[in-house]
Amino acid sequence: MTTGEDRQPSGTRPSLFLERQSYRRRRLTDAARLLPILGAALIAIPLLWPGGSSEKGVPLSSAIFYIFACWAALIVASLIFGFAARRMAASDETDSDTDQWQR
């Protein structure tokens, strides 16, 4: 399962240092891939909470607060990423170095 984002354009040797913009772009796509993993991890955390009807159980209000906070954080992160992606796409149109972003 390769999505090809990290693949270099064929024929050019991968250079060690990228331009600042390309570097940011690369890290942004990393973030895009990390985001769902982070989300899944956050959502999985409640599974570690003590369940059942024990005395030390987590009150539902706290659970609601936690879940919805995570949810909101994900939304905000996605929003930020969306704007960043839009900015990158816009700069791509003027920039000839489209390779990394288009893939």
Contact footprint for other proteins (CB under 8 A): 1-5, 29, 32-33, 35-36, 39-40, 43-44, 46-47, 49-53, 57-64, 67-68, 71-72, 74-79, 81-82, 85-86, 89, 102-103
The rounded distance, in Å, linking the Cα atoms of 86 and 25 is 11
Give me the least distance between CB of 29 and other proteins, in Å please.
7
Question: Six-digit token pair at 39?
Answer: 């989300």
C-alpha to C-alpha distance for 38 and 45, rounded to whole angstroms:
11
Cβ-based nearer residue to other proteins, 16 or 96: 96
Comparing CB distances to other proteins, the nearer of 12 and 16 is 12
Angle (deg, nearest 10), helices 60-94 and 20-44: 160
Contact 74, 39 (CB under 8 A): yes
Closest to other proteins by CB, 61 vs 96, is: 61
